[in-house]
A and B are shown apart, each in its own frame.
Chain A
């Protein structure tokens, strides 16, 4: 069977000592940084990205993936123990997780998160192995119109899955698209919006934008409300969940995994919605909904499983189509390009060992997370005591070195400050940075496919919606249109706000 042969190839690649080592380092570093309060997976991955530059492509990507799910996992630990989630996907975990911790049940909460994540990671890895190859086949038949429509669908659905104002998210996407076009036009060689600066000829550095809007802007945001008191860290005693806990965890983990796996595939950051949706569903099906928000273990197990499953399956569009589902995947794509790999359906064909090695390493990495985290929890708790005033200079130093190591271009460092400031202003006005970053990465792709498609059709824009000739493109655009209409419908918007309101 193909699947087994592929997985065997992947496991043999991932199990090479070098790859195992880097997977381990990635998971460890990711957790280490992700545990620090206020640092989410995106900021963590952007900061640690340069560490992988000196490696060969396969270990580099394995390590980056490890950093990602390590950071995600570390974030849930922080959410449970001090109620300070690093990124919105673990925000919902803190609702019941922190309550459990306050009742002296931090151990079982952490164990529920670990077990749920591991199970979800295993299922999601299999899902990737099953669904990635057929999707790759489909993707190979895609022409410019299909790619264009797919990117449009991805961008639109990222609005549906984000929270806050739809209009603002749309504006942030468009702004991101424009910023992504800065630099030399690939068709004509004409410099665009470079203000006659040679340094801008290659465009704005993506890592600098990420470090600015997710690193510096976030620091400025946190400094608005600098508090002098130390966070209250819950004590961890006894990790093992009781038999009763285990019994209550099973169904939420299964449901959470299913929801997360499906939503994660959607282009546009499904992992965030997945944890919210999983939580809401658990509350609905529970016979004791009143216990939610007061330390229900189901409220930890379900969103953590969904979160991790979604993080994992978000690799599917990245690996098969070269389209990022969330900002971290955008960073992965950036890393691939730096390594000289063209992201897209050809990766699976031309570099099966990298493709399958990466997939298999995710399962190994998840196993490492469980083995690593439960015994090391004491160290993580100590990390939580690091005061923020010691943390943010370190973030700035790491981000500076990281961005410098990409191109050794002073201009990129100035861009961090600029995007940090702009990002902070926009954050203050409730404009989320994630859609901007997705737009930034997808801008050049969208333009290239638009121009190629228009050349094919001799300037006839109906090529995108011609069902007879381009059924896939037309279907994708119809879906995008439906998604757009749906998010603007008043009744749906109310529901959407309700789902996200739990975070506040």
Chain B
């Protein structure tokens, strides 16, 4: 049997997400069509999403497959944590260390990047961001936060 993995997977994801939100909506007061409660519209949408997902999944069967492509593990590992670290640390560390860490750590997502290139890039970006965002634009972010002040 031929199955289009892309469509099947997309359908299942939509069914799953729709299901999660449907369960969440059922916890909320639904109300009536006249006076809709907070759960009414989300429930309608979630059920709709599950339906579309189901149609997608069913139609994926007996449909020609298309290549899924590779997974860029290295990029996932180095890029996704970058903004999380920034969010976690920017208030305590300040802009300078936070930008440096984001740039330095994410740079390794590229196979061609070595520590020297990453370091220079991070220094350059940190200087640039400090000048542009803090000095020129006056965004209210400290250059160095309480965690690193002496």
Contacts and interface: CB of A to CB of B under 8 A. Distances in A.
Nearest to B71: A224
A192 to B, nearest CB: 6
Contact of B139 (A401, A416, A458): A401
A429 B12 CA distance: 11
Contacts of B76: 220, 421
A414 interface: yes
B32 interface: yes
A43 to B, nearest CB: 14
Contacts of B150: none
Given A177-B45, A401-B141, A404-B86, A226 B111 contact: yes
The majority secondary structure among interface residues of chain A is helix
Contacts, number: 204
B131 interface: no
A51 B137 contact: yes
Contacts of A351: none
B108 to A, nearest CB: 9
Interface string B107-131: 1011111000110011001000100
A286 interface: no
Nearest to B82: A396
A420 B76 CA distance: 10
A232 interface: no
Given A190-B28, A220-B76, A450 B139 contact: no
B79 A224 contact: no
A442 to B, nearest CB: 12
Task: Decide if the interface of chain B is mainly helix, strand, loop or mixed.
Answer: helix
B135 interface: no
Contacts of B42: 178, 181, 192-193
A389 B114 CA distance: 11
Interface string A213-252: 0001001100110101000000000000000000000000
Given A410-B90, A428-B69, 5 more contacts: A174-B45, A393-B104, A401-B129, A414-B84, A429-B6
20 contacts: A167-B56, A171-B49, A174-B18, A178-B45, A190-B29, A220-B75, A223-B110, A226-B112, A390-B117, A393-B106, A393-B107, A394-B121, A397-B125, A403-B83, A404-B87, A428-B69, A451-B36, A454-B35, A459-B32, A459-B34
Interface of B: 6-7, 9-10, 13-14, 17-18, 21, 24, 28-29, 32-39, 41-42, 45-46, 48-49, 52-53, 55-56, 59, 68-72, 74-76, 79-84, 86-88, 90-91, 95, 98-99, 102-104, 106-107, 109-113, 117-118, 121-122, 125, 129, 133, 137-141
- Complex A-B, nearest 4 residue pairs according to Cβ-Cβ distance, in ascending order: A413-B87, A459-B34, A223-B75, A389-B110
